[in-house]
């Protein structure tokens, strides 16, 4: 934790990101200006390193900076100060277009309310991230069908979201988050809208992805959900308050957290 002054480009060049650290955040601050003179410092200089293959949970009460953290991690927003390297690329100063590109290529999103696109079928929903990378979708149909099979929806390829249950929709969203083979999957309360049984199923699916080597970052306020992660970060007042090492990072993932 770096309480300190604003992080600027003049600051000494940081060491290159760890060999297996896919996320490296240094002194990230986020300042919002609320109408007029009122400023809110949502993040006050956060440092974080996440290694490949790890499973990270972020917890915290509302107003702790949890959502802001998620937005910055997901490249939906840029920090006011500090640096963020994602897969060796500094994304903290990227243009809007480059950031969109980075999101599409490096990050898979899973949302609380699934956020499938209503007018598209299951298969087409899975293809959306590919579409925005300018890929010819015809070459990826087999892969998308494979992903649908992995989440157990191979018989629903041409259904529309409103013909699926919540659990099924969330599984489509998981398939969609994987289609780009992203560096990490960012899940925002993935079980928030599901009953406990389907929630369990979705969490097990996420566990399976992690066991297969995917890096997972999960935001939740449910302790039992967080308990599946290797590391649990508790945020408070725009800082990482404490970190719990829940269970060891699997042996195939090298390197350690800061």
Partner 1 sequence: MLTFQFISTVRLGIKSLMLHKLRSALTMLGIIFGVCSVIAMLAIGEGASYEAQESIKKLGSNNIIVRSLKPPEQAQQQSSGGGRGMQLKYGLTYADAGRLLSTIPGVLRVLPKRIIRENVRFARNEVPCQVVGTLPFYPEVTGASMVSGRFLAYFDEQREENVCVITTGLARRLFPSQNPLQHTVKIDAFYYRVIGILEERSLPEQRTQAGKMEGQPLDNNVYIPLATSRTRFGEVLIRRSAGSFEAEEVQLHEITVQMRDMAAVETADSQVRTLLKHFHDQNDFEVVVPLELLRQAEQLKRRFNIVLGSIAAISLLVGGIGIMNIMLATVTERTREIGVRRALGAKRRDITMQFLVETVVLSIGGGLMGVLIGFVAPSLVTHFTHMKTIITLWSVAVAFGISGAVGIVFGLYPASAAAKLDPIEALRHE
Centroid of chain to Cα 87: 13
| 123 token code pair | 């298969």
Q: How are beta strands 38-51 and 55-59 bridged, if at all? A: unpaired
Task: Please identify, among the stretches 18-26, 101-109, 195-203, 247-255, the one whose residues bind partner 1 according to the rule CB under 8 A.
Answer: 101-109
**Helix, strand, coil percent values for the chain (each to nearest 5):** 30, 25, 40
Nearer to partner 1 (CB atom), residue 132 or residue 221: 132
State which residue, 29 or 49, has the beta carbon closest to partner 1.
29
Closest CA to 147 of 185, 176, 113: 176
Residue with smaller CB distance to partner 1, 103 or 231 = 103
Taking CB under 8 A as the binding criterion, the range among 8-16, 98-106, 203-211, 220-228 that sits at the site for partner 1 is 98-106
DSSP string, 14-77: PPPPPTTEEEEEEEEEEEEEETTTEEEEEEEEEEEEEETT-EEEEE--TTSSHHHHHHHHTTSS
The distance of closest approach from Cβ of residue 101 to partner 1 in the complex, given in angstroms and rounded to an integer, is 7
Region of 40-48, 132-140, 194-202, 226-234 interacting with partner 1 (CB under 8 A): 132-140
* 104 binds partner 1, rule: CB under 8 A: yes
Footprint of partner 1 (CB under 8 A): 71, 74, 76-77, 96-97, 100-101, 103-105, 109, 111, 115, 117-120, 128-129, 131-134, 136-137, 176, 180
């Amino acid at each position: 934790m770096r309480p300190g002054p604003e992080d600027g480009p003049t600051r000494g060049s940081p060491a290159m990101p760890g060999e297996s650290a896919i996320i490296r955040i240094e002194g990230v601050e986020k300042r919002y200006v609320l109408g007029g003179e009122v400023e809110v410092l949502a993040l006050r200089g956060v440092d974080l390193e996440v290694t490949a293959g790890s499973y990270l949970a972020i917890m915290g009460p509302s107003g702790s900076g949890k959502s802001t953290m998620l937005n910055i991690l997901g490249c939906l927003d840029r920090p006011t100060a500090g640096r963020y390297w994602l897969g060796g690329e500094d994304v903290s100063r990227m243009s809007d277009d480059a950031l969109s590109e980075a999101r599409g290529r490096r990050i898979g999103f899973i949302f609380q309310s699934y956020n499938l696109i209503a007018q598209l079928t299951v298969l087409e929903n899975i293809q959306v991230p590919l579409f925005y990378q300018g890929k010819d979708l015809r070459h990826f149909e087999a892969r998308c069908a494979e992903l649908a099979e992995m989440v157990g929806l191979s018989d629903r390829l041409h259904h529309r979201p409103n013909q699926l249950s919540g659990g099924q929709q969330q599984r489509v969203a998981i398939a969609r988050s994987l289609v780009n083979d992203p560096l990490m999957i960012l899940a925002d309360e993935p079980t928030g809208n599901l009953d406990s049984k389907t929630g369990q199923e979705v969490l097990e699916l996420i566990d399976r992805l992690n066991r297969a080597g995917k890096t997972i970052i999960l935001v939740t306020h449910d302790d039992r959900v967080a308990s599946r992660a290797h590391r649990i970060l508790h945020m408070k007042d725009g800082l990482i308050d404490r970190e719990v090492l829940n269970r060891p990072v699997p042996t195939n993932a090298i390197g350690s957290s800061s």
